[in-house]
Amino acid sequence: MMLAIICALGIGSAGAQGVDSKNYAFQTDLKTLVVFKEGFGFYLREGSARLENGWATTNLIPQAARGSLWIYPLDPNDRVDTIITTNDNRIEFDRPEDIQGRLADKVGLRLRIVSEGDITAVGMLTHVLDDMLLLREKTRNILAVEYKQIKKITLTDFPVRIKLRTDDPNGESRIGIAYIQAGVRWEPSYLLEILPDNMGRITLRGTLLDLPEELKSANLVFVIGAPSVLYMRDVDKLLQGFMSGFVPEGIDQIVYDPVDNTFVVLKEAAEAPGGGLARGGRAESEDRRRAAAGLPPVAESGELQYYTKPNFSLRPGERAMTTIFEAVIPVTPFFEWNADGEDVTYIVKLKNTSEDPFTLGPVFVVEDKRPVGQQNIEYTAPGDEAELRMAQAIGLKVERREIEDSRADPFEIGKRQFLPITMKGTLTLENFRDSGAEVRITRTVSGKVLDIGGGGKVKDTRVQPGDPNSIIVMEWTVTVPPGEKVEITYRYETYTAIGNI
């Protein structure tokens, strides 16, 4: 009988349990996941293999963006020479007598055995005996296969072969695998707590979403900034048509079946693979400050900002919100009146005195454990200011009055006549609040400004071709004491068309 079935309760799989395969077939652990808001991650993994004539093989087939797959030896003296993806990862032998030696270190790996008569068996190698090998099938049965009957041996689940240039082609090698893959993302949100003395505590929280595999005490890195990735949705052609032999627990394992040219679903799911990143950047004193505050370290690279949460664990399907950084910054409450109408808006102005940029995201503002409002914050570099328009202001009464002050003689432009009219305007603000109110006022007029009272200035002028009237925006910043009234006056000349000549 070519393939003997042995009861799993007999010789069984005891010899295979706890086997740590130290051979050229290796799995990787996810060491670092760098997450971008734009919906992709940079995965860094590590694994260890004992080379066979410079070759190693791995089970990992990521959906890496085109050109982003990076396999590298952790020994700086070694180099990666060639990477091959294959559905037929054979274990070569010339004679049946060679098989025992070729499989001696392959215990614990899954093999596909083709015997005489093209009988195929697939299972985990549990024993290498003098004249036969034992395979444990997914049904838990044990198959005994005589070496003299074997025509072909294929290593399943490990479709990537890696050739290293190294001084020790049969020694131990640690290998890193890095790539960009679409799917995972994070969303920023801010909490701003208004504190006494015009200060506020701003906290950036990152929410990790769409995690595709388990994080086990890995480095989770949130990135502020958007790099250019040309081929994000284009899977690298080296990897197209292949699938990983190992997927997260709870999901059926899927491997390629070269006999039927199909993908086969297996019920034995193995542990999720996972990779590594060295962080660099900020001064050690800044890292110590952040560590003392319980905040992740931060690094810069180009126009990107990296925030690392070490020893982070999360399973697929779970979501996590975690603090990225917090800072106490100056906060100035003030009001804005667009004097073209009657609306007055309450605004919170932030001065970014921290060493971290503020990224685009919603900011929820609270004061004395009461909600003030929520708005989006724009990207704000360290040293810059941002404004949050929170609510319609109450406690301030505003009024605008304009009267004609004088008229001049008409004048001609081309074949049209215009009448100059001087207007006098008055802006009145009355404060019914218990505290003073700083108010920024804007007023847009058409014509030429003659006089601006109250310390105002012309903020913007837009010339209109063919029209003597320019569009002018005036601006004031005034402080209205509690219970008092402030008046501002201005004069401008506008030119009204009165007909054609």
CA angle, corner 87, sides to 262 and 167, nearest 5?
A: 160
Examine the pLDDT at 355 and tell me if it is beyond 50: yes
Residue 484 domain boundaries: 397-500
> Domain boundary at 155, 185, 206, which?
155
Residues 159-194 pLDDT 10s = 999 999 999 999 999 999 999 999 999 999 999 999
Question: Residue 30 in 3-state DSSP?
Answer: strand
Query: Does residue 217 lie within any of the structural domains?
Result: no
Distance of CA 207 to the CA centre of its chain: 10
**Residues with Cβ within 8 Å of residue 260, at least 6 apart in sequence:** none
Residue 465 banded pLDDT, cuts 50, 70, 90 = confident
> Domain boundary at 138, 155, 172, which?
155
Q: What's the 3-state SS for 168-234?
A: CCCCEEEEEEEEEEECCEEEEEEEEEEECCCEEEEEEEEEEECCCCCEEEEEEEEEECCCCCCCCCC
Residue 130 amino acid letter? D
CATH number, domain of 443, equals 2.60.40
Overall domain count for the chain: 2
Q: What is the mean pLDDT of the chain?
A: 84
Residues 203-260 pLDDT 10s = 999 999 999 999 999 999 999 887 888 888 889 999 988 766 543 333 333 333 433 4
Residues 82-95 pLDDT 10s = 999 988 888 999 99
Query: Does residue 131 lie within any of the structural domains?
Result: yes
**Residues with Cβ within 8 Å of residue 465, at least 6 apart in sequence:** none
Query: Does residue 326 lie within any of the structural domains?
Result: no
Query: Does residue 13 lie within any of the structural domains?
Result: no
Examine the pLDDT at 270 and tell me if it is beyond 70: no
Query: Does residue 257 lie within any of the structural domains?
Result: no
Query: Which pair of tokens denotes residue 101?
Result: 């030696």
> Domain boundary at 101, 133, 155, which?
155
Query: Does residue 54 lie within any of the structural domains?
Result: no
Residue 15: the pLDDT is 35
Query: Does residue 488 lie within any of the structural domains?
Result: yes
Query: Does residue 232 lie within any of the structural domains?
Result: no
pTM for the model stands at: 0.72
CATH number, domain of 97, equals 2.30.30.100
